[in-house]
Amino acid sequence: MPASIHTAVLPAEVLALLAVEPGMTVVDGTLGGGGHTRLLLDAVGPGGRVIALDRDPAAIERGARELAGRPIRFAQANFCDLPEALDALGIDRVDRVLLDVGLSSDQLADDTRGFSFDSDGPLDLRFDPTEGEPAWRMVNRLRPETLADIIYEFGEERFSRRIARRIADVREREPIRTSRDLARVVAAAVPRQKPPPRIHPATRTFQALRIAVNQELKSLRIALERIPTRLAPGGRLAVISFHSLEDRLVKEAFRNRQVWESLTRSPLEATPEEVARNPRSRSAKLRGARLAAPTVAAD
């Protein structure tokens, strides 16, 4: 397996927001290429520890190889199952949690996973290739109306109905199998625009299908409810999201003052310098919160 090509977004902002101290126990809920994990390991020092989770077995395998010898434990798990992952490691509470949701550059570059439009691999799009339904099966199975709703809601794609109708027409002749198949169908379905858009015409459709296949919003919603139950007093959570629906979930969760004290009035975003260095950071939004102090009931 090649070394990671993923560049961690908002590294300095994450560290400042989490205020990690030596000796702490920190969860990186989205190991990916391990960029943030390395920063967290350096911050906790030899007396602390990092628990790294990822749904993708390939990310866990790479992390275990590259970070061997550091104070880190790995679990291939959904971050919404953080309590179960901690139980399995015999850990009660943790001081900090980071979630950097979505897709890594390593997954995008792996032709067998189907995340990139020009891949001839199967249109899979699952973070965990053993869990749930691959995207090719979904696009060949769902009613066009349901497909259109998914593409509209999760992709914010204004041509969702045209795209769904074209998918339905094409699959009647032959099922859609590869990412390249789907990218071609989408490109043919959307009207030509002038000037041509900056992104590939299938970008929003792929994003929508990925979110649906992995039930990404559901995982995040559940994680936001469950993480506070395993944070130590004063514990902090930072979430980096790349989609407005995800950012809305985080914003709304952090509004609950019985649980959280928000540390970011508005989300932190990458500077123009970071965007120039790492274009993926363009749409990243970082929010953080500290566990609210329990209110003491008066006698």
| Binds ligand SAM by CB under 6 A, chosen from 10, 18, 33, 235 | 33
- Within residues 87-116, the interface with ligand SAM by CB under 6 A covers 100-102, 104
Beta bridge partners of 288: 238
Q: Which is nearer to ligand SAM, 55 or 171 (CB)?
A: 55
Q: Is 209 in the site for ligand SAM (CB under 6 A)?
A: no
- Which two tokens mark 243? 């989609």
Element containing residue 289 per DSSP (H, E): strand 285-291
* Neighbouring C-beta atoms of residue 120, cutoff 10 Å: 12
Q: Which is nearer to ligand SAM, 64 or 187 (CB)?
A: 64
| Binds ligand SAM by CB under 6 A, chosen from 53, 86, 148, 164 | 53
> Shortest Cβ contact with ligand SAM: which residue?
32
Helix or strand or coil: residue 17?
Answer: helix
Q: Is 278 in the site for ligand SAM (CB under 6 A)?
A: no
179, 209 Cβ separation under 8 angstroms: no
- Within residues 5-24, the interface with ligand SAM by CB under 6 A covers 6, 8
Q: How far is the CB of 8 from ligand SAM (least distance, A)?
A: 3
DSSP string, 81-121: GHHHHHHHHT---EEEEEEE-S--HHHHH-TTT--STT--S
Instruction: At 58, give phi and psi (nearest 5°).
Output: -65, -35
Strand residues in 79-216 grouped as ranges (E): 94-100
Q: How far is the CB of 128 from ligand SAM (least distance, A)?
A: 8
Region binding ligand SAM by CB under 6 A among candidate stretches 34-42, 135-143, 165-173, 267-275: 34-42
Q: Which is nearer to ligand SAM, 57 or 197 (CB)?
A: 57
Q: Is 78 in the site for ligand SAM (CB under 6 A)?
A: yes
Q: How far is the CB of 76 from ligand SAM (least distance, A)?
A: 9
Q: Which is nearer to ligand SAM, 80 or 183 (CB)?
A: 80
- Which two tokens mark 75? 């679990």
Q: How far is the CB of 227 from ligand SAM (least distance, A)?
A: 12
Q: How far is CA 45 from CA 41, 75, 289, in A?
A: 6, 20, 23
Instruction: At 129, give phi and psi (nearest 5°).
Output: -65, 0
Amino acid at 120: D
Q: Which is nearer to ligand SAM, 13 or 56 (CB)?
A: 56
Region binding ligand SAM by CB under 6 A among candidate stretches 67-75, 78-86, 131-139, 188-196: 78-86
Distance between CA 227 and CA 250 in Å, rounded? 12
Beta bridge partners of 51: 27, 73
| Binds ligand SAM by CB under 6 A, chosen from 50, 51, 54, 139 | 54
97, 107 Cβ separation under 8 angstroms: no
238, 288 Cβ separation under 8 angstroms: yes
| Binds ligand SAM by CB under 6 A, chosen from 74, 115, 117, 127 | 127
What is the CB-side half-sphere exposure of residue 5 using CA atoms within 13 A?
9
- Within residues 55-74, the interface with ligand SAM by CB under 6 A covers 55-56, 59
Q: Which is nearer to ligand SAM, 185 or 213 (CB)?
A: 213
Q: Which residues bind ligand SAM (CB under 6 A)?
A: 6, 8, 29-30, 32-36, 53-56, 59, 78-80, 100-102, 104, 127, 219
